[in-house]
Amino acid sequence: MKKITMLFVVMAMFALTANAQKKEQMYVGGTLGFAVQNQSVKDYSATATAFSIAPEFGYFVADNIKVGAELDYSISGGSHTFLVMPNVAYYLPIVDKLYYTPQFSVGGGLGATSGYTKGAFALSLNVASIEYQPVENMAISMSLVDLSYSYMAKVNGVGFSFLASPKVGFRYYF
């Protein structure tokens, strides 16, 4: 039992002293996402391929706390959505250069489907996101589990994805 407790203490100390994201640090980057989704409305069911691209900017307001914004463009089946997504994330060091980065986003914009354009709204919680920094100013991120809600006139969606629609991102810190 003492060995397990000592191992836990050493790991916690290492995680707390790992290279942290510093206050006033900024980055630019973006993410790419791809998914195959099953969609069903009443008696109709179909499979659609979804693609998203989201350039982003982030600013650390405190050590390990980032606020930012994404410009998210996605295509799924016959619908297109453009959203401005402000977000907040917490960077928890796992080991040197590897971070657990849960993120909450909320945003609005425009969506087009079936020949009409309407307002769109979305909420998202990335609960299993990680970031790896192989060199000082560059990082690779990946989101594996995403809980989301989206609304566009006559098209509502609540989603939960686990490895079904991973997103990969790249970031440049300055």
Q: What is the reported pLDDT for 27?
A: 95
pLDDT band at 104 (very low <50, low <70, confident <90, very high): very high
Q: Where are the domains of the chain?
A: 2-173
Tell me how far apart the alpha carbons of residues 15 and 8 are, in angstroms, rounded to a whole number: 10
* Cα angle: 118, vertex 123, 127; to 5 degrees: 150
Cβ count near 95 (within 10 Å): 11
DSSP string across 51-111: EEEEEEEEEEEETTEEEEEEEEEEEETTEEEEEEEEEEEE-EEEETTEEE--EEEEEEEEE
Calculate Rg over the CA atoms of the chain: 18
* Cα angle: 132, vertex 136, 141; to 5 degrees: 25
Q: What is the reported pLDDT for 118?
A: 83
Q: What is the reported pLDDT for 12?
A: 47
Place of tokens 């997504």: 85
Tokens coding 34: 């791809």
CATH number assigned to the domain with residue range 2-173, chosen from the 4 options 3.40.50.1970, 2.40.160.20, 3.40.630.30, 3.40.640.10: 2.40.160.20
Residue with more model confidence, 50 or 154: 50
Tell me how far apart the alpha carbons of residues 46 and 36 are, in angstroms, rounded to a whole number: 10
Q: What is the reported pLDDT for 17?
A: 39
pLDDT band at 173 (very low <50, low <70, confident <90, very high): very high
Residue with more model confidence, 71 or 154: 71
Give 79-89 pLDDT, tens digit per residue.
Answer: 888 999 999 99
Q: What is the mean pLDDT of the chain?
A: 80
Helix (H) or strand (E) holding 122: strand 116-135
Q: What is the mean pLDDT of residues 81-105?
A: 94
Give 27-70 pLDDT, tens digit per residue.
Answer: 999 999 887 665 544 455 556 678 899 999 999 999 999 999 99
Lowest model confidence (mean pLDDT) among 50-54, 92-96, 157-161 = 157-161
Q: What is the pTM of this model?
A: 0.74
